[in-house]
Amino acid sequence: MKQETEYERRLNRHYDELKWLYCELYENGMSFFEDLCGKMQKKYKYRKKELKELDRKREKNPEWYKGNDMVGMMMYTGAFAGNLKGVESRLDYIEECGVNYLHLMPLLTSPKGKSDGGYAVADFTKVQPELGTMRDLSHLTGACHEKGISVCLDFVMNHTSEDHEWARRARAGEAEYEQRYFMYNDDTIPREFEKTCPQVFPTTAPGNFTWLEDCRKHVMTTFYPYQWDLNYANPVVFNEMTDFMLNLTNQGIDVIRLDAVPYIWKELGTSCRNLPQVHTIVRMMRMICEIVCPGVLLLGEVVMEPEKVVPYFGTVEKPECHMLYNVTTMASTWHTMATKNVALLKHQMDIVSGLPKEYLFLNYLRCHDDIGWGLDYDFLKQFDMEEVPHKKFLNDYFQGYYPGSNSRGELYNDDPKLGDARLCGTTASLCGIEKALAEQNSGLLAQSVEAVRMLHGYMLTQSGIPVIYSGDEIGQCNDYSYKEDEEKAADSRYLHRGKFRWDLAEKRTEKGSYQYDIYQSILSMEKIRKEHPVFLNKADVWTVETYDPAVLCLIRVYGDEKLIALFNFSNEEKTAWIQEEGMYTDLLTGSEREGTNVVMKPYDILWLMNHKL
């Protein structure tokens, strides 16, 4: 009886709005809505006792994920430890890294050679066989929860693999399954879509439709020909995909990463991006989780500038995603490393800092994907940085072609005509460690380690949740072995998706090794961050002019704590010409110094604290 009361309480809270939104989206859809409610109740019924207890605990503390103690790490299961059981056997290492938010990259069944790194799902109910089983996943999340670690998993909701049962049945001519996709007998409607719908990969996967010779039909494939876009105008698609999502949450997944969420609603005559119906769907998913599994968070993958990202938080009264990625700052950070000019970064930090403190962003330096140069070129024009030549400069710089560059990276989806290539590489290789090791240049190695340290310090200074890319904590360099694998050779993103180097991880405790310097400095900064409330999302944050183009100054204030955070993005000694009166303690070294005209070493980071507010 208690369980029924609990479920009914949550359902009643959202029922009217959920029903209204559903029936507005799907006219005459009451029977489908009742089907959805049945699926929800069934998933609640079979949710494990310990997960329900975790839900209740988090319901009482709805901001449990907003603390300054949150540190994330993202990894490929196979690359890190072979399989899910291997990851579980390495949880002590993950815990030692200070990590309590673990993002496992896509691991559901997808066809070899046509998986797009796991983003072409053939079965939402099964794990890729070489990685384990759903039982293994459930056992891993249980072990993580015992250590206070939350687990994030991608939910690829825009499309399925062409090998998915739905796609195979649609291809065979079953009308019910054809209606779950966008399939057409001729190119009349596809040509209309192409007039207004931009291409995602114009070079490697041009167009938004693929011709299927065997069944003589066109199918919408926004990303790659083997990824068929789902038709969310069909309520069956929404109901079934929601059921798949709830199945994942019942395996103990705490954070559902909504992949490519802006694309999920398609409509003729539009760009098929960010349409109002997308927000209706995300809002319904939020309510469904709050009914069935309120301890679960939604993380939106929205690769756009802040003003287009923010609507995915929803409103205070009608929230959508709990968290979003801070994509713009990541790209701008690497732009700053190349240009040694913090103006764009300062500008964008001012925008992000001006947003409501309820908004939570995930901050990162590198991830599984490439670095796309979607910068604010209207702002950069004042510095004579035009889009196409500037992108070429950045790509030349990070490939090591530009004078003075120590970076080692590779291009992805290179389009010489548009100058729209993206960049691949690990943090260590882009900062110069790879080159320093190859040349046995100890001076360059020390400088590159300082750059890696400074960048992680900058990430840890931002409001939100810092997310480390697995391998960055030990300075892991590019892995060129992907070129020898014919299934991966054409995708340069595998440059930074190499196997985790456990031999390098062993050196994290060896004083004198660069692995020790990077690992211990990140751990030290994480510890300091957890100890000081000034790093909370609730802090006031603003930038201060330093009068040196290479030095960024962030000020954080909360309670009686004031932090001046300074970052030198150049390989030369600089002075931050700031005038913050008083004496400050450098949290990183313990030294005392004044807050005026601060001298900084190359790639230096300072966390100056004053308690006398």
In SS3 terms, 50-113 reads as HHHHHHHHHHHCCCCCCCCCCCEEEECHHHHHCCHHHHHHCHHHHHHCCCCEEEECCCEECCCC
Q: What is the mean pLDDT of residues 163-184?
A: 98
What is the CB neighbour count within 10 angstroms for residue 355?
15
Q: How confident is the model at residue 203 (pLDDT cuts 50, 70, 90)?
A: confident
Span 364-416, pLDDT tens digits: 999 999 999 989 999 999 999 999 999 999 999 999 999 999 999 999 988 77
Distance of alpha carbon 539 from alpha carbon 529, whole angstroms? 13
Distance of alpha carbon 430 from alpha carbon 432, whole angstroms? 6
pLDDT at 560: 94
Domain ranges of the chain: 1-156+236-325, 159-229, 326-507, 539-610
In the predicted structure, residue 509 carries a pLDDT above the cut 70:
yes
In the predicted structure, residue 329 carries a pLDDT above the cut 50:
yes
Specify the pairing of strand 255-258 against strand 297-300: parallel
Q: Do domains 1-156+236-325 and 326-507 have the same CATH topology?
A: yes
pLDDT at 417: 67
Length of the chain: 613
Q: How confident is the model at residue 4 (pLDDT cuts 50, 70, 90)?
A: low
**CATH of the domain spanning 1-156+236-325:** 3.20.20.80
Distance of alpha carbon 381 from alpha carbon 461, whole angstroms? 28
In the predicted structure, residue 65 carries a pLDDT above the cut 80:
yes
CATH of 326-507, one of 3.90.180.10, 3.40.30.10, 3.20.20.80, 3.90.1070.10: 3.20.20.80
Two structure tokens written together for 15: 């029922």
b/e 214-223 (16+ beta carbons within 10 angstroms → b): eeebbbbbbb
Which CATH architecture best describes the domain 539-610? Sandwich (2.60)
Q: What are phi and psi of 103, to 5 degrees?
A: -100, 110
In the predicted structure, residue 251 carries a pLDDT above the cut 50:
yes
Q: DSSP E strands: which ranges in 369-454?
A: 410-412, 422-424
In the predicted structure, residue 611 carries a pLDDT above the cut 80:
no
Share of the chain above pLDDT 90, in %: 92
Contact of 118 with 107, CB cutoff 8 Å: yes
pTM of the model: 0.96
pLDDT at 8: 95
- The domain made up of 159-229 is a member of CATH 3.30.230.10: no
Question: Across the strands, what pairs with 314?
Answer: 319
Span 529-582, pLDDT tens digits: 999 999 999 999 999 999 999 999 999 999 999 999 999 999 999 999 999 999
Average per-residue pLDDT for the chain: 95
Span 103-132, pLDDT tens digits: 999 999 999 888 888 999 999 999 999 999
pLDDT at 335: 98
Catalytic sites, residue numbers:
259, 301
Q: How confident is the model at residue 56 (pLDDT cuts 50, 70, 90)?
A: very high
In the predicted structure, residue 1 carries a pLDDT above the cut 50:
no
